[in-house]
Amino acid sequence: MSDGHEHNGHENVPSRQRRRFPGISSRTYEHPADRSALVALRKLSGFDTVFKALSGLLPERSLRLLFLSDSVRVSDQQFSHLNVMLRDACYILDLEKVPPMYVSQDPQPNAMCIGLDEPIIVVTTGLVELLDEEEMRAVVGHEVGHALSGHSVYRTILLFLTSLAVRVAWIPLGNLAIMAIVTGLREWFRKSELSADRAGLLVGQDLQASMRGLMKIAGGNHLHEMNVDAFLAQAEEYEAGGDLRDSVLKILNVLPRSHPFTTVRAAELKKWAESRDYQRIMDGHYPRRDEDKDTSVRDSWRESANHYTTHVKSSKDPLMKLVTDLAGGAGDLGDRVRRGFGGFANPAQKPPRGPETPGPSDSPGDDRPPRDDS
């Protein structure tokens, strides 16, 4: 049942047979918004040279020395089960050079892939202790996906700029300029996390394990108290629930985050796993790395734009519905906005409705299940 193979001079035997993807391009699993940004950056002449020139300004060397001196490097002698997972993930995604991996003492479950010249992967003890083998395999595949996509470069820059913004907070304009860049990078990085979740699924090839891992990150090691279907229902309620006021609060809540909310990640991953695109990849039909140089920036941007258009049209979020109405030239826009923000007004002061009662499709909340706010 096992599929033994040799990679980079070390024999690696995964616990069960998994499909391998020789020469796979990261474009295969990248979210459209993530892919369009990366394709554009890769096409910029001298882009890599510029960022490598910045390496003297960025604390990359300091970070490498810090992990080397104060964390445990994964190897055949240390955390050997993680070492097997790492080599297996690199074999499946055909990443030729296995990045160094460290376990850092931190009760907070977390993992990251950073580095300008070469990526390094760091996982915390909180994450190692929280997840079982198959859940952890998906996380390792997630980080290897970051490495294959080149996300580690931009993640390192994001860490540096976030730190810099704190240090120059006393300079109003300087801080605003840096935070504008940080906000843009965070929006991109949230999409890159959706890409890496897909890479984790390609490595683990176990959707339930990926779902369990996300549930544990959200609710801890209490699987007997949690249910995947109920967890996904939370994402549905989050997407569709509330009025325009809630839509604005959602945006404000997510802006300072580098990762999407866990229920949203779970729902996005399940949707992709059930798509025709995923099945084609598993059947061996996917973009190859040697074709990356021929990728069109325009086509990538068009695909990204189409994705967002489809997302807005199909979204149940009240604000997205309003955007759709604007695009369609809704005649009762003022009334829709007033009803959408009705939560701000005193119910006793609300203007009476006209003689015409709107149908179910006109009310943002009519198709919502009742909410228990107790």
Residues identified as active-site: 143
CA distance 310 to 299: 16
* CA distance to 89, 238, 273, 289, 336, per residue, from 143 (Å): 9, 27, 18, 18, 44
What's the Rg (C-alpha) of the chain? Answer: 23
For 331, residues 6+ apart whose C-beta sits below 8 A from its C-beta are none
- How far apart are the two ends of the chain, measured CA to CA in Å? 51
Three-state secondary structure call for residue 271? helix
Residues with Cβ within 8 Å of 182's Cβ and at least 6 positions away in sequence, in order, are 158, 161, 162, 165
Burial class (CB in 10 A: 0-12, 13-18, 19+), 138: buried
The two three-digit tokens of residue 189, written as one number? 């990085």
Q: How far, in Å, CA of 267 to CA of 273, rounded? A: 10
Chain centroid to CA 288? 22
Contact call for residues 138 and 209 (beta carbons, < 8 A): yes
User: Residue 26 carries which DSSP code?
Assistant: G
Asked if 209 and 134 count as a contact pair (C-beta separation under 8 A), the reply is: yes
